[in-house]
């Protein structure tokens, strides 16, 4: 058998095997035949084309060329297999962009996932190593094949006939797997190519960025005025990383979809629930974009982040944007700090914090103690308590403190002192949530010890949720279901907020900044936020827009109990009535004319969020005296330097 045939058939086997694994795992084995038809059709056709090329031009150079092409096809199958096992979806080329932007941290992430799934790692890597050795042996000594014309003709006809039948079969069942398994009916290779060609995969094009007209206001471009009844409270915001709303005790008390009970039946975050009872809880809160950098920008500026697959918000500006930090600094003389337990190199975080106008940035690198590190990304959250205490005590001035937790990020590990590592990923995830709740309690206790509780607005909010195969897909960056969109959001402000309040109207993370400023007595009207003061009456017909970070992910809005989701994968719009169908199992696909109108409206919002970067295309700078930032257009990279 010819080497390129072996390699293409190996790619076909890989595609069929991983889809069988997914069908068994998700309980959709009856849909498996519909998933594999396009793989059979496309890869058999590719093998025939390579065969005919070698037959027409029988040279060693051609044999090497088609072998390399076959190896690329097979490599994509292996990459897709790993992605499908991890997320439940097939990969698209654009989803590899973080690997180009931040190879070190993404490589650590990949290694962490492989380490947590040793069986899967062995199944993927051992055959790949064998295939790699075979590939190089063929390139070193290619052999020119001999052909029997009759057998060749018969083989081509049979292969093309099977490919054609598989294509016809795939078209005949095109509606079968649309809802329960999006994208699995497609062949991963053809899908990757079409992603560069078809408009539905490219609903944000390069021109949308080049022609972007939106300008984000700088810190000195908005009026900052205080109303007569202003107050001077400190502000503490704790941002939860990737915690599903139903995994909090808030869902137990406020009516989640499928609340997780915890060991004692009271939920995983009893302290968070107690904070909510002491103030206001927003029971219908959503993420604006399912990505941490985007969420941080939205909640700390009150303005929509660029709903696009980039991190333009981290490209350092010469002057910060108008934000909660800059407004509090200008209006009330606040000092500001951003603490995170994660590494600062991940997604250029110092650049974002600089653009938001914070005075101080603290990250895992500032621990100078690898023994406190947890996983490839985070560190023991409790290790932040002493630096936070020292910063608060360093000056007798009001302050804004933002703390970003990270232990709940993949790969879901807690410090060894807290608990033995659970075996299953979802159980490890629950461990990290309980651990984070205890950290919130410890930080709040620190405020009590410092006699600051009565004069502090204490806010806890999630950046986004996380999917664990509730809809046969894991992760958050391409999901628009409630397990990812719905977030915890509560706020305590003694004497400013009546304890036990609940806001049931639809809100999102962009509402945090105007709500806090409204509590402190700022005149927020002239600031023209995209968010609103969520403690004031909300419009009955308010539309809360959302987007996945991945360019090919769903986008839509929530209005009252209705959720409208545009799916670029199939170019459809579905409506979910959340009061009747909270699990989102029976979305109504809208008629073509109505779907086109809503698609235009939704995509107009998404394009409208893209902002113009008022910065040179490339450059570098030093941030917070410890971080070397380099950027190229809308992409930035950060390196920690001890002294500079």
Q: Residue with structure tokens 């110092």?
A: 350
270-277 vs 425-449: helix axis angle to the nearest 10?
A: 50
pLDDT at 132: 83
User: pLDDT, tens digit, for every residue of 628-641?
Assistant: 999 988 888 899 98
The predicted model gives 555-582 an average pLDDT of 92
Query: Could you tell me if 176 and 310 lie in one domain?
Result: no
Residue 283 per-residue DSSP state: T
User: pLDDT, tens digit, for every residue of 300-338?
Assistant: 999 999 998 888 999 999 999 999 999 999 999 999 999
Q: How confident is the model at residue 126 (pLDDT cuts 50, 70, 90)?
A: confident
Ramachandran bin of 640, using left for φ above 0, alpha for ψ from -120 to 50, beta for the remaining angles: beta
Residue 235 pairs with which residues in a beta bridge? 400, 457
Confidence check: pLDDT of 177 > 70: no
User: pLDDT, tens digit, for every residue of 382-396?
Assistant: 999 999 999 999 999
Query: Could you tell me if 326 and 399 lie in one domain?
Result: yes
d(CA 562, CA 568): 19
In a domain, 630, yes or no: no
Q: Confirm whether pTM is higher than 0.75.
A: yes
Residue 177 per-residue DSSP state: T
Q: How long is the chain?
A: 644
The predicted model gives 106-115 an average pLDDT of 71
Domain count, the chain: 2
Query: Could you tell me if 330 and 447 lie in one domain?
Result: yes
In a domain, 614, yes or no: no
Query: Could you tell me if 178 and 269 lie in one domain?
Result: no
448 SS3 class: helix
In a domain, 528, yes or no: yes
Classify residue 559 as exposed, middle or buried by CB count within 10 Å of its CB (0-12, 13-18, 19+): middle
pLDDT at 181: 61
In a domain, 53, yes or no: yes
In a domain, 325, yes or no: yes
Cβ-proximal residues to 90 (8 Å cutoff; 6+ apart), any chain: 80, 83, 84, 183, 184, 186, 188, 191
Q: Which helix (H) or strand (E) holds 383?
A: none
Q: How confident is the model at residue 644 (pLDDT cuts 50, 70, 90)?
A: very low
In a domain, 502, yes or no: yes
- CA-CA-CA-CA torsion sign (249, 274, 243, 286): positive
Q: What angle do CA 418, 419, 425 make, to 5 degrees?
A: 120
In a domain, 543, yes or no: no
Query: Could you tell me if 148 and 292 lie in one domain?
Result: no
Query: Could you tell me if 399 and 274 lie in one domain?
Result: yes
d(CA 558, CA 598): 12
pLDDT at 138: 81
Confidence check: pLDDT of 510 > 90: yes
**Domain enclosing residue 310, as ranges:** 245-489+498-534
Lowest mean pLDDT among 84-93, 319-328, 512-521: 84-93
pLDDT at 198: 65
pLDDT at 203: 58
User: pLDDT, tens digit, for every residue of 370-422?
Assistant: 889 998 889 999 999 999 999 999 999 999 999 999 999 988 999 999 999 89
Lowest mean pLDDT among 166-175, 186-195, 393-402: 166-175
CA distances from 372 to 99, 377, 485 (A): 26, 11, 31
Confidence check: pLDDT of 160 > 70: yes
Q: How confident is the model at residue 199 (pLDDT cuts 50, 70, 90)?
A: low
Domain containing residue 510: CATH number: 3.40.720.10
Are 583 and 257 within 8 A, CB to CB?
yes
In a domain, 564, yes or no: no
Q: Residue with structure tokens 């989640």?
A: 256
Query: Could you tell me if 386 and 513 lie in one domain?
Result: yes
% of the chain surpassing 70 pLDDT: 94
Alpha-helical segments (H) within 491-641: 512-520, 592-608
Query: Could you tell me if 460 and 363 lie in one domain?
Result: yes
% of the chain surpassing 90 pLDDT: 61
String of DSSP letters for 501-530: EEE-S-EEGGGHHHHHHHHHTB--GGG--S
> Token pair of 385, please?
């308590």
């Amino acid at each position: 058998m010819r080497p390129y045939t072996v390699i293409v058939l190996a790619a076909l086997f890989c595609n069929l095997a991983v889809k069988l694994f997914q069908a068994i795992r998700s309980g959709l084995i009856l849909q498996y035949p519909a998933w594999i038809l396009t793989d059979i059709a496309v890869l058999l056709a590719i093998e025939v084309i390579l065969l005919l090329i070698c037959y027409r031009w029988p040279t060693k150079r051609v044999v090497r060329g088609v072998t390399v092409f076959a190896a690329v096809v097979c490599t994509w199958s292996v990459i897709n297999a790993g992605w499908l096992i991890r997320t439940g979806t097939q990969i698209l080329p654009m989803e590899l962009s973080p690997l180009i932007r931040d190879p070190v941290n993404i490589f650590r992430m990949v290694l962490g996932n492989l380490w947590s799934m040793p069986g899967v790692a062995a199944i993927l890597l051992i055959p790949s190593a064998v295939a790699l050795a075979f590939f190089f042996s063929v390139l070193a000594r290619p052999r020119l094949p001999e052909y029997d014309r009759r057998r060749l003709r018969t083989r081509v006809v049979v292969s093309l006939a099977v490919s054609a039948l598989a294509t016809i079969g795939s078209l005949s069942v095109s509606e079968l797997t649309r809802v329960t398994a999006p994208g699995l009916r497609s062949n991963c290779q053809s899908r990757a190519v079409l992603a560069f060609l078809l408009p539905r995969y490219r609903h944000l094009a390069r021109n949308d960025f080049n022609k972007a007209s939106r300008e984000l206001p700088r810190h000195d471009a908005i009026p900052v005025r205080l109303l007569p009844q202003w107050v001077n409270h400190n502000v503490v915001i704790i941002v939860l990383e990737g915690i599903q709303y139903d995994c909090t005790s808030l869902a137990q008390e406020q009516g989640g979809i499928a609340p997780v009970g915890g060991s004692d039946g009271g939920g995983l975050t009893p302290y968070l629930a107690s904070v909510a009872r002491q103030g206001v809880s927003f029971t219908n809160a959503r993420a604006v974009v399912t990505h941490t950098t985007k969420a941080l920008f939205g909640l700390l500026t009150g303005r929509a982040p660029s709903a696009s697959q980039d991190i333009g918000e981290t490209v350092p500006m010469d002057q910060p944007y108008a934000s909660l930090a800059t407004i509090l600094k200008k209006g009330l003389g606040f000092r500001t700090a951003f603490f995170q337990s994660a590494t600062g190199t991940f997604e250029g975080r110092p650049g974002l914090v600089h653009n938001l106008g914070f005075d101080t940035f603290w990250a895992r690198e500032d621990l100078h103690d690898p023994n406190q590190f947890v996983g490839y990304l985070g560190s023991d959250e409790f290790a932040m308590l002493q630096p936070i205490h020292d910063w608060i005590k360093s000056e007798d001035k009001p302050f804004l403190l933002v703390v970003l937790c990270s232990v709940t990020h993949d790969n879901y590990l807690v410090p060894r002192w807290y608990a033995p590592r659970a075996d299953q990923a979802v159980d490890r995830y629950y461990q990290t949530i309980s651990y984070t709740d205890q950290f919130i309690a410890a930080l709040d206790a620190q405020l009590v010890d410092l006699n600051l509780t009565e004069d502090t607005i204490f806010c806890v909010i999630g950046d986004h949720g996380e999917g664990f195969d509730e809809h046969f897909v894991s992760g958050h960056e391409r999901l628009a279901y409630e397990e990812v969109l719905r977030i915890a959001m509560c706020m305590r402000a003694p004497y400013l907020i009546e304890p036990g309040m609940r806001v049931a109207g639809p809100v999102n993370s962009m509402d945090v900044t105007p709500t806090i400023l409204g509590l402190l007595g700022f005149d927020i009207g002239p600031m023209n936020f995209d968010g609103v003061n969520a403690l004031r009456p909300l419009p009955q017909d308010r539309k809360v827009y959302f987007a996945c970070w991945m360019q090919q992910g769903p986008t839509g809005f929530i209005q009252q109990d209705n959720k409208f989701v545009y799916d670029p994968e199939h170019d459809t719009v579905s409506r979910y009535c959340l009061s009747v169908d909270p699990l989102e199992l029976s979305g109504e696909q809208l008629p073509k004319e109505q779907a086109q109108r809503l698609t235009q409206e939704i995509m107009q919002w998404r394009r409208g969020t893209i902002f113009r970067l008022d910065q040179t295309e490339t450059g570098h700078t030093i941030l917070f005296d410890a971080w070397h930032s380099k950027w190229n257009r809308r992409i930035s990279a950060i390196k920690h330097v001890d002294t500079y």
